Structure 1
Amino acid sequence: MTIAEDWVADAMENLEVPRTMRLRLTRNGLTVVPVTQAHVMTQMRIFGQIDARLPGWVPIGEFKVLPPREGYMPEPDVSALPQEKLDPGSSRFDEGLLPFVVEIVSPESKGRDYSTKTDHYALRGIPAYLIVDVLTARWTLLTRPADGEYQHRESGVFGDQIEIPVADRTLTLDSSQFMRI
């Protein structure tokens, strides 16, 4: 990491922002963004479905993905870990532990969720990336990462069942529970 990257990482760790906001590193620098109720409710509903439909796994969210690549550690909104792999004191998890990640689109994050994060998650080899767009009531599931790109894409509307491969099983999410802005 460069000195500037160290400074940014330190600032993000130590700056306090209101609970209704998130601090994000964007191409324009550090940005404070609001968290909408649609985002929070959708995240909670996905957590609940993971709890109910993926026995032995624990939903996680608002964590950093290690290692940093190009000075960047994405912070997915949702993922899951096998119960025995969870470190309750950690806010950072190795990319190799993540079978999927979910990003819930907000007005400020739309470009990153559909492009920058797609590239980063594919380069990290994360098997599945689900984009939940609460702005348009649509979802996109990207799977089969190879050579820094996802090779398979499925899309649909809220109301569809979404099947995400997780290790040796399938997590089925009911997107009718997602909330639209």
Structure 2
Amino acid sequence: MTAVDERGVAEFFEGFEPPDGLKVELLRGEIVMMASPDLLHNLNVLLTERQIPLDRWYPLQTQDIDIVDEASEPVPDLVVVARDALPASGRLMPCSLITMVVEVVSKTSVQRDYDVKRSIYAAGNVPAYLIVDPIMAQCVLLTRPKGEGEHADYQRQQITKFGAPLPLEELGLELDTSQFGTFPNARPHRYP
């Protein structure tokens, strides 16, 4: 897809009104629509959000992100921003203000969460990307972003099984994963 095409898609996306009950993201010039998340998904987001101290951070749900030099406007399950970095308003949160994004894997989002969004968030230089995976009962913490565009990636990857504590150095806390739920009878995947 050419840069002109991506700009056109981005302009279209700006005014697009999705049908009720659908989550919509722009990922590298592609409009991706998903059904509303599963209850287990929402509970894992809630259990993560509740552990982030509001005296220092704002954990925000359904916040669109502006990734510089990308035809992408992802909507992570959770965006963590320092309280003093939060802008007064706006639909798009500049990626330069974000400390961490969280994606909870669903049965249909595995490839997007582990592959596409990994390079998008790294290209946006988001310091930490946490993948909570109820299919594999693990968290994958990605840090130290490097590179540009589709070649961007995180230089450090830490896998923590549900039940073990997960240090989140970027936030200065340890995440308790013992209450995170898993999808029953889910087919394992090959990621990360």
TM-score band, normalised by shorter chain:
0.7 to 0.9
Percent identity over paired residues: 28
Q: Deviations over 1:55-113 (max 9, x none)?
A: 32111122222145331122211121122332463332111111111111112211011
Q: Give the residue type in structure 1 aligned to 2:160.
A: G
Tell me the CA shift for residue 28 of structure 1: 10
Q: Is the 8 A contact 2:76 2:103 kept in 1?
A: yes
Distance 1:82 1:157 in 2: 27
TM-score, normalised relative to structure 2? 0.78
1:156 equivalent among 144, 160, 180: 160
Contact 2:29 2:71 in 1 (8 A): no
Gaps of 5+ in 2: 184-192
Residue 45 of structure 2: aligned partner: 43
Q: What's the CA shift for 1:8?
A: 5.3
Task: Find the counterpart in structure 1 of residue 106 from structure 2.
Answer: 106
Change (3 A) 1:173 1:145: same
Q: Indicate the structure with greater strand content.
A: 1
Aligned equivalents of 1:86 and 1:80: distance in 2?
10
Partner secondary structure for residue 71 of structure 1: coil
* TM-score of the aligned structures, taking structure 1 as reference length: 0.82
Q: Return 115-124 or 79-88, whichever deviates more.
A: 79-88
Q: Check conservation: 1:104, 1:131, Cα contact below 8 A.
A: yes
In structure 2, relative to structure 1, the CA distance for the partners of 1:68 and 1:10 (3 Å cut) is: farther
Matches within 5 A, 1:14-93: 14-19=16-21, 21-25=22-26, 30-34=31-35, 35-51=37-53, 55-87=55-87, 89-93=89-93
Kindly report which structure 2 residues correspond to 1:109-124, keeping only aligned pairs within 5 A, or say none: 109-124=109-124
RMSD over aligned Cα, in angstroms? Answer: 2.5
Aligned equivalent of 2:169, options 165, 171, 180? 165
CA gap of 1:44–1:13, structure 2 versus 1, over 3 A, is farther
Q: How many residues align?
A: 176
Q: Following TM superposition, by how much is the alpha carbon of 1:179 offset from its aligned partner in structure 2, in angstroms? A: 2.0
Q: Secondary structure at the match of 1:2?
A: helix
Rounded to whole Å, the distance in 1 between the matches of 2:14 and 2:41 is 21
Alignment correspondent of 2:144:
144
For 2:34, give the aligned amino acid. Answer: V
Deviation per residue, 1:115-174 (Å, 9 max, x gap) = 1111111122111111111222111111112232211111021111111222xx512211
The structure whose residues are more often helix, as a share, is 1
**What letter matches 1:43 in structure 2?**
V
Query: Any gaps of 5 or more consecutive residues in structure 1?
Result: none
Q: Retained in 2: the 8 A contact 1:128–1:165?
A: no
